Protein backbone atom coordinates (compact mmCIF):
# COMPACT_ATOMS: atom_id res chain seq x y z
CA UNK A 1 0.00 0.00 0.00
CA UNK A 2 1.40 3.33 -0.97
CA UNK A 3 0.79 6.23 1.40
CA UNK A 4 1.92 9.65 0.35
CA UNK A 5 2.06 12.64 2.66
CA UNK A 6 2.35 16.11 1.24
CA UNK A 7 5.37 18.04 2.42
CA UNK A 8 4.60 21.15 0.41
CA UNK A 9 4.78 24.44 2.27
CA UNK A 10 1.07 24.84 3.05
CA UNK A 11 0.83 21.31 4.39
CA UNK A 12 4.08 21.72 6.24
CA UNK A 13 2.57 24.66 8.10
CA UNK A 14 -0.41 22.52 9.01
CA UNK A 15 1.78 19.87 10.58
CA UNK A 16 2.74 17.42 7.86
CA UNK A 17 6.04 16.75 9.59
CA UNK A 18 4.23 15.72 12.74
CA UNK A 19 1.89 13.53 10.71
CA UNK A 20 4.83 11.79 9.07
CA UNK A 21 6.42 11.13 12.44
CA UNK A 22 3.17 9.76 13.82
CA UNK A 23 2.65 7.57 10.78
CA UNK A 24 6.17 6.17 11.05
CA UNK A 25 5.56 5.41 14.69
CA UNK A 26 2.20 3.78 13.97
CA UNK A 27 3.68 1.66 11.18
CA UNK A 28 6.31 0.48 13.62
CA UNK A 29 3.95 -0.30 16.50
CA UNK A 30 1.57 -2.17 14.20
CA UNK A 31 4.47 -3.97 12.61
CA UNK A 32 3.32 -3.28 9.06
CA UNK A 33 6.43 -1.70 7.58
CA UNK A 34 6.54 -4.45 4.93
CA UNK A 35 3.01 -3.56 3.83
CA UNK A 36 2.87 0.20 4.14
CA UNK A 37 5.11 2.29 1.97
CA UNK A 38 5.31 5.84 3.36
CA UNK A 39 6.36 8.57 0.97
CA UNK A 40 6.62 12.31 0.87
CA UNK A 41 5.21 14.30 -2.01
CA UNK A 42 5.10 17.89 -3.05
CA UNK A 43 2.00 20.02 -3.32
CA UNK A 44 -0.84 18.25 -5.03
CA UNK A 45 -2.99 21.38 -5.20
CA UNK A 46 -5.27 20.42 -2.37
CA UNK A 47 -3.79 22.62 0.35
CA UNK A 48 -7.07 24.27 1.31
CA UNK A 49 -8.27 21.13 3.02
CA UNK A 50 -5.37 20.50 5.33
CA UNK A 51 -2.51 18.10 5.08
CA UNK A 52 -2.95 16.14 1.95
CA UNK A 53 -2.45 12.37 2.24
CA UNK A 54 -3.13 9.79 -0.41
CA UNK A 55 -3.64 6.06 0.09
CA UNK A 56 -3.14 4.19 -3.18
CA UNK A 57 -4.11 7.36 -5.02
CA UNK A 58 -7.19 8.15 -2.95
CA UNK A 59 -7.08 11.60 -1.43
CA UNK A 60 -7.61 12.42 2.24
CA UNK A 61 -7.10 15.51 4.36
CA UNK A 62 -5.50 15.06 7.74
CA UNK A 63 -4.38 17.00 10.73
CA UNK A 64 -1.96 15.74 13.38
CA UNK A 65 -4.96 15.15 15.66
CA UNK A 66 -6.74 12.85 13.21
CA UNK A 67 -3.69 10.88 12.15
CA UNK A 68 -4.18 8.01 14.55
CA UNK A 69 -7.86 7.37 13.79
CA UNK A 70 -7.11 7.75 10.10
CA UNK A 71 -4.38 5.15 10.38
CA UNK A 72 -6.62 2.68 12.18
CA UNK A 73 -9.47 3.12 9.77
CA UNK A 74 -7.99 3.76 6.34
CA UNK A 75 -4.69 1.96 6.61
CA UNK A 76 -5.15 -0.91 9.04
CA UNK A 77 -8.73 -1.29 7.81
CA UNK A 78 -7.50 -1.95 4.27
CA UNK A 79 -4.64 -4.28 4.93
S1 LIG B 1 1.08 22.04 0.09
FE2 LIG B 1 0.16 20.12 0.41
S3 LIG B 1 -1.38 19.98 -1.10
FE4 LIG B 1 -0.45 21.88 -1.39
Residue 56 to residues 13, 22, 68, 73, 77: CA-CA distances in angstroms?
A: 24, 19, 18, 14, 13
pLDDT for the residue numbered 35: 98
The residue segments making up the domain with residue 48 are: 2-78
Number of domains in the chain: 1
Ligand 1 contacts CB of residue 8 (under 6 A): yes
Ligand 1 atom at minimum distance from 46 CA: 3
pLDDT for the residue numbered 7: 95
10: domain CATH number is 3.40.30.10
Mutate to test the pocket of ligand 1, among 4, 11, 41, 54 (most ligand atoms within 8 A of CB): 11
- pLDDT tens for 34-75 read 999 999 999 988 899 999 999 999 999 999 999 999 999 999
Amino acid sequence: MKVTICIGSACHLRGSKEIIQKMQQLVKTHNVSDKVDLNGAFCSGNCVNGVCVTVDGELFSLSPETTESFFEKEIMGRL
